A and B are shown apart, each in its own frame.
Chain A
Amino acid sequence: MTPFDKTAPSQTEAIHFEFELRHPPEKVWRALTNPVLLSEWLLPVLNQRLEAGAEFMFQAPAQPGWDGTVNCRYLEIEKEKKLSWAWVVGEIDTVVTFTLTPTESGTKLTLVQSGFKPNQQQNFGGARYGWNMMGGKLIDLLGRIS
């Protein structure tokens, strides 16, 4: 309970990419959802089934202190428009969101990684206290103190 925290959810995130692709949304969507294609450009994907709520994994090379597993779960699937999944590494719980917008020459693709909060297992799927750690406010703060 935090009566004094009035931090407005920010629209800005530190991890925010936006770029133009010379390919139609239909094709970009396939690259984002087909397991073979996904494995080719992102990371080897396991047990992937395109369905809201479905859990799957990415397997990165293991490193000291981390077995390389990224635990994921589809949150939003809007065909050829929006795709988001929970991206959980160890205790750190984030959300990866892709947005596709058709343009004259192809697709504008945005990628945002947000959340940055510890994984609260007991709250999983329930009340996720959204923390936009990378909200403008904290970015300002980081600028001031570093």
Chain B
Amino acid sequence: MQCGAVVEDRVFRALADPSRRAIFESLSTGEAAVKELTARFSISQPAISQHLATLTEAGLVTGRREGRCVYYRVDPQGMKPLLDWVAHYRAFWTERLDRLEKLLENMDQ
């Protein structure tokens, strides 16, 4: 079980906040600038920017400057630690449940 790595923690922390998760999900439908996101979520621009900074730091989102605007989009690579983590646990439980079944066969004999 490879767990508790710094990158994973950053990803989990970033997505644990419901506001950031909503922003992230919103960006998954396409690129958007801060202004659009502010309108979409009716929360303040500084708050949106702060959430975007956290998502960027976690590697979940990337920004692209165009003139005076920064457009944000989801970075698919950013979800990899999460997917790895889930894959890891799936394999772990598959193997352990197999052992459970074998144990049950041999119990009470």
Task: List chain A positions with a Cβ less than 8 A from chain B.
Answer: 2-5, 7, 14-15, 17, 19, 21, 23, 27-28, 30-31, 37, 40-42, 60, 63, 65-66, 68, 89-92, 111, 113, 116-118, 129, 131, 133-134, 137-138, 141-142, 144-146
Q: A4-B41, A21-B104 are in contact. Are A63 and B12 (CB under 8 A)?
A: no
- The answer to whether B89 touches A113 (Cβ under 8 A) is yes
Identify B12's interface contact among A17, A113, A118, A138, CB under 8 A: A118
| Nearest CB of chain B from residue A66's CB, rounded to whole Å | 5
How many chain B residues have a CB neighbour from A under 8 Å?
41
| Cα A7 to Cα B18 with chains together (Å) | 9
- The answer to whether B83 touches A142 (Cβ under 8 A) is yes
Interface majority SS (helix, strand, loop, mixed), chain B: helix
- The answer to whether A66 touches B86 (Cβ under 8 A) is no
| Cα A17 to Cα B94 with chains together (Å) | 8
